[in-house]
Chains A and B, each alone.
Chain A
Amino acid sequence: MGRYVLRRLLQLIPVFLGTTFIIYTLVWAIPSDPFAGKCGQRPCPPEYVAKMRADFNLDDNLFVQYVKYLGKLFTGDFGQTFSGVKVGTLIADAYPITIRLAVIALVIEGVIGLVAGVLTGLRKNGFLDNLVLVATLFLISLPVFFTGYVLKVGFGISVSSTAPLGDLIVPGFVLGSLSMAYVARLTRTSIAENRRADFVRTAIAKGLPGSRVVGVHLLRNSVIPVVTFLGTDLGALMGGAIVTEGVFNIHGIGGLVFINIQQQQGVVVTGVVTLLVLVYLAMSLIVDLLYAVLDPRIRYE
């Protein structure tokens, strides 16, 4: 296990390098000048553009630019925006609310989704099963911004960046609603299949109480795909939710990335996305380790 973790951590290095390089390349591959729109209807003075290009190493070839960028990154310097704001500051301002929103969404989708999935998986085709099926269908079929608008208008919510947790429940619900449906359905399928598995029959045959069979044997084996999904989803949620953040005017990481892509602020985009990819990689490592904990049949040598 220890060796496995070490190996995975080592694997992070090429992925990290690959991702940052791809993103760096992609942002600069956008075929237009990031300073063209900076002066409204007027073109910018060429000296201004030249100085900005020099400051941001845009005239070097891509590889040199990338190495310069990495060099700074390793000294903890994320660089700064075209208007001179430190990228580190931007991230520090935007990330806390994104994390809070992501955790709330995950808790909502995890708890409601799992409970609904387990209950329906155990009693298929009952009233509850149909109710949950219809409810999840409903959630899946509504576009996020639609749910967002309806709930926003319904609750009259506008969230500031220092919002208390309570204000984030509705946006969190909107953000987690689609995944909640996925979780409920995955759990339901998984429970229904495992109910007939040998180890469950054996447990029942041994005369174990129903709650122990469900809680220990059935649930533990059935949540594996669900855990995969939740882990991946948390990684994605941490990346910010552009639509949900936009609808509720939350100044999180999603909006930050979106605005800066449009402005072609390569330094900001690469910095933020690098961080997001690291978070994502950490999440997927944790998910893989959870496999081993949850399912004794899976071993990492």
Chain B
Amino acid sequence: MGKRRKTAILVALPAAVALLATGCGGGGGGAGGGDSNGAVSIYGTEPQHPLTPGNTNEQGGIRVVDELYAGLVGFDPTTAKPYNLMAESITPSSDAKVYDIKIKHGWKFHDGTEVKAHNFVDAWNYAALATNAQINADFFAQIQGYDEVHPEDPKAKPTAQTMSGLKVLGDYEFQATLRAPFSVFPVKVGYEGFDPLPDVFFKDPKGFESHPIGNGPMKFVSYVPNQDIQLTRFDGYQGQDAVHFKDVDIKTYSDLNAAYSDLKGGQLDFLDLMPPAALVGDTYKADLPGRTLNSSLIDIDAIAVPYYVPGYNNPDLRKAISMAIDRDGIIKQVLNNAYDAANSYFSPSLDGNVPNSCEYCKYDPDAAKSAFARSGFTGKLTIASNSDGGHKEALTAVCNSITKVLGVACDFVPQTSLGQFRSMITSHQATGMVRSDWSADYPSVEDFLNPIYKTGASSNDATYSNPQVDALLAQADSTADAAGAIKLYQQAEALIAKDLPNIPLWSEKGTAGYSSKLSAAKLSWKRQPDLPSFRLA
């Protein structure tokens, strides 16, 4: 999908023009600037799934899928404000249950066929159907008829092939009826799983995977596993978020430090996160003078304190642990100021976040000690996580901070791989606290509550269950008025902050760097390079 990549033309035209003007630096003021037929290379990781919207859910694949496909809704890269990309309009019924969606005319897939309403409906039905076993199937769960194409019991056969809630009303119009009111739906369809697929996909899905065809600003050229993925500009693209260069080479790296030295050496043009060594003492700013940028990622890192671990179902213990963590000290000394300390259960850059809504998220050694004394907890604390990606250093520091304040032993328990780590959590076999980070699928406070804190939710790592919270969340989901819904979500958050199922730690700021080949670039709220903002020097 293409949502987040456009540069706010709809929102504020003058701003977009100003951006274009700065984009070409001191050059001369021509729109676009630099070589509009040039090539750039960006950092990437090996995609874990085939490059189709319904089957892509991790950074390495999303990076490619976002450029190949364009969805109904796009997001501003910086503010995460949604705008209509392929959608002409998305009109909810008064109870937020039925959505009438009109799409723009004249959009083409890379094979020349026009994007029509049925391309969306077919793609959604394909992704939701249990027998297609698509990884993003859950995202369609709110659409009426989902339980027929995707029965709860994984062994049961689907009783329908398509969801009854989706109706094609013409070449450029379709209707989505939801099982229950859900006011965040128009934002949720901005997730890449909702992007359309061309007719050719349904004839041969397997063959399509080796040469995906989308409707996005870039089209597929080649994919060499563990080496790179090459895309080139799709000149027939109709969206506002077209790119100002021709080719992009998404280079696959397995080592961040290697990518960083390539960036310094000019063999790589854009790197969306800095290795720890480059962050220390702001080394990266000296290495890349004037070529670094920050963004506001929408994510939160936390540790889940599972209720099923003996001794952990103890509010005082949770408070004691949370208040014993010197978040600011760890961010300054271990995380090199690349994060903001968490003081709520939302990302600070998210619309609807209430600063300081988590009263126990402040470092308070004395209060922590007395809460710990009240808890009567004896034994050892552990925090488990896969140790790559800098988790080891940060969580070891968290443990050290807990030990220092509470005097209780705390060990970081490294897990060899993310798979090993997650299977331990999903099978409820954790023997201590576990890392539980969250990045937004789409920019809404809803995405930070329902999947994590609702009873039995898919990512409820702490196995938290509070009927009051469940009721508030359901009420918020069915409130059509966006502002009213946010208020209810905030009330749910306030209750969660008292129970502390997860202990929020910090949110990443997002730090990127680019080579001197580029004169402008942006990093989106999803930590993806914002290609439309790239200008060649």
Question: Once bound together, how far apart are the Cα atoms of A248 and B261, in whole Å?
Answer: 10
* Nearest CB in chain A: distance from B441 CB, A: 9
A30-74 interface (Cβ within 8 A of B): 30, 32-48, 50-52
Q: Mark B283-302, 1 if CB is under 8 A from A, else 0.
A: 00000000000000000000
Question: Once bound together, how far apart are the Cα atoms of A219 and B168, in whole Å?
Answer: 84
From known contacts A36-B419, A37-B419, A259-B254, infer whether A93 and B227 are also in contact, taking CB-CB under 8 Å: yes
Question: Once bound together, how far apart are the Cα atoms of A295 and B143, in whole Å?
Answer: 78
* Nearest CB in chain A: distance from B13 CB, A: 37
Q: In the complex, what residues of A have CB within 8 A of residue B259's CB?
A: 249
Whether, in the assembled complex, A11 has its beta carbon less than 8 Å from a beta carbon of chain B, the answer is no
Q: Is the CB of B426 within 8 A of A36?
A: yes
Measured as residues with beta carbon below 8 angstroms from the partner, the interface class of chain B is 35 or more
State the majority secondary structure of interface residues on A: loop
Question: Once bound together, how far apart are the Cα atoms of A19 and B46, in whole Å?
Answer: 29
B235-267 interface (Cβ within 8 A of A): 252-255, 258-259, 261-262, 265, 267
Question: Once bound together, how far apart are the Cα atoms of A94 and B227, in whole Å?
Answer: 9
Q: Is the CB of B416 within 8 A of A262?
A: yes
Pick from B49, B420, B459: contact of A41, CB under 8 Å:
B459
Q: Is the CB of B48 within 8 A of A32?
A: no
Question: Once bound together, how far apart are the Cα atoms of A34 and B422, in whole Å?
Answer: 10
Q: In the complex, what residues of A have CB within 8 A of residue B422's CB?
A: 36-37, 41, 43
* Nearest CB in chain A: distance from B331 CB, A: 21
Pick from B57, B252, B255, B458: contact of A246, CB under 8 Å:
B255
Whether, in the assembled complex, A264 has its beta carbon less than 8 Å from a beta carbon of chain B, the answer is yes
From known contacts A83-B48, A83-B50, A93-B224, infer whether A44 and B135 are also in contact, taking CB-CB under 8 Å: yes
Question: Once bound together, how far apart are the Cα atoms of A106 and B439, in whole Å?
Answer: 47
Q: Mark B494-524, 1 if CB is under 8 A from A, else 0.
A: 0000000000000000000000000000000
A144-174 interface (Cβ within 8 A of B): 156, 158, 160-161
Whether, in the assembled complex, B58 has its beta carbon less than 8 Å from a beta carbon of chain A, the answer is yes
Q: In the complex, what residues of A have CB within 8 A of residue B224's CB?
A: 93
Q: Mark B34-69, 1 if CB is under 8 A from A, else 0.
A: 000000000000111110000001100000000000
Q: Is the CB of A246 within 8 A of B254?
A: yes
Question: Once bound together, how far apart are the Cα atoms of A83 and B134, in whole Å?
Answer: 12
Most buried by A among B210, B265, B420: B420
Number of chain A residues whose Cβ lies closer than 8 Å to a Cβ of chain B? 44
Q: In the complex, what residues of B have CB within 8 A of residue A24's CB?
A: none
From known contacts A161-B227, A249-B258, infer whether A45 and B57 are also in contact, taking CB-CB under 8 Å: no
Whether, in the assembled complex, A189 has its beta carbon less than 8 Å from a beta carbon of chain B, the answer is no
Question: Once bound together, how far apart are the Cα atoms of A45 and B139, in whole Å?
Answer: 10
From known contacts A93-B224, A93-B227, infer whether A52 and B133 are also in contact, taking CB-CB under 8 Å: yes
Q: Is the CB of A41 within 8 A of B133?
A: no
Whether, in the assembled complex, B201 has its beta carbon less than 8 Å from a beta carbon of chain A, the answer is no
Pick from B423, B451, B459: contact of A37, CB under 8 Å:
B423
Closest chain A residue to B151, Cβ basis:
A47
Q: In the complex, what residues of B have CB within 8 A of residue A195's CB?
A: none
Q: Is the CB of A47 within 8 A of B451?
A: no
Pick from B46, B150, B258: contact of A158, CB under 8 Å:
B258
* Nearest CB in chain A: distance from B89 CB, A: 31
Q: In the complex, what residues of B have CB within 8 A of residue A156's CB?
A: 261, 265
Q: Is the CB of B419 within 8 A of A35?
A: yes
Q: Mark B265-287, 1 if CB is under 8 A from A, else 0.
A: 10100000000000000000000
Q: Is the CB of B133 within 8 A of A48?
A: yes
* Nearest CB in chain A: distance from B458 CB, A: 5
* Nearest CB in chain B: distance from A3 CB, A: 44
Question: Once bound together, how far apart are the Cα atoms of A110 and B46, in whole Å?
Answer: 36
Closest chain B residue to A246, Cβ basis:
B255
Q: Is the CB of B58 within 8 A of A45?
A: no
Q: In the complex, what residues of A have CB within 8 A of residue B416's CB?
A: 262
Whether, in the assembled complex, B131 has its beta carbon less than 8 Å from a beta carbon of chain A, the answer is yes
The stretch from A84-92, A117-125, A128-136 touching chain B is: A84-92
From known contacts A93-B227, A156-B261, infer whether A41 and B438 are also in contact, taking CB-CB under 8 Å: yes
Whether, in the assembled complex, A274 has its beta carbon less than 8 Å from a beta carbon of chain B, the answer is no
Whether, in the assembled complex, A256 has its beta carbon less than 8 Å from a beta carbon of chain B, the answer is yes
A69-113 interface (Cβ within 8 A of B): 81-85, 89-90, 93-94
Question: Once bound together, how far apart are the Cα atoms of A262 and B48, in whole Å?
Answer: 13
Q: In the complex, what residues of A have CB within 8 A of residue B254's CB?
A: 246, 249, 251, 255, 259
From known contacts A42-B458, A47-B137, infer whether A94 and B226 are also in contact, taking CB-CB under 8 Å: yes
Question: Once bound together, how far apart are the Cα atoms of A43 and B461, in whole Å?
Answer: 10
Residues of B within 8 A of A (CB): 46-50, 57-58, 130-131, 133-135, 137-138, 150, 154, 206, 209-210, 224-227, 252-255, 258-259, 261-262, 265, 267, 416-424, 426, 436-439, 451, 458-459, 461
Q: List 18 A-B contacts (CB under 8 A).
A: A32-B424, A36-B419, A37-B420, A38-B49, A40-B57, A43-B426, A45-B133, A45-B137, A46-B154, A47-B130, A47-B131, A48-B135, A81-B225, A84-B50, A90-B225, A93-B225, A94-B226, A262-B416
List 3 tightest A-B contacts by C-beta distance, closest first: A249-B258, A36-B423, A37-B419
Residues of A within 8 A of B (CB): 30, 32-48, 50-52, 81-85, 89-90, 93-94, 156, 158, 160-161, 246, 248-249, 251, 255-256, 259, 262-264
Apart from A32-B417, A42-B458, 8 more pairs, CB < 8 Å:
A34-B419, A36-B422, A41-B461, A42-B57, A82-B49, A246-B255, A251-B226, A264-B417
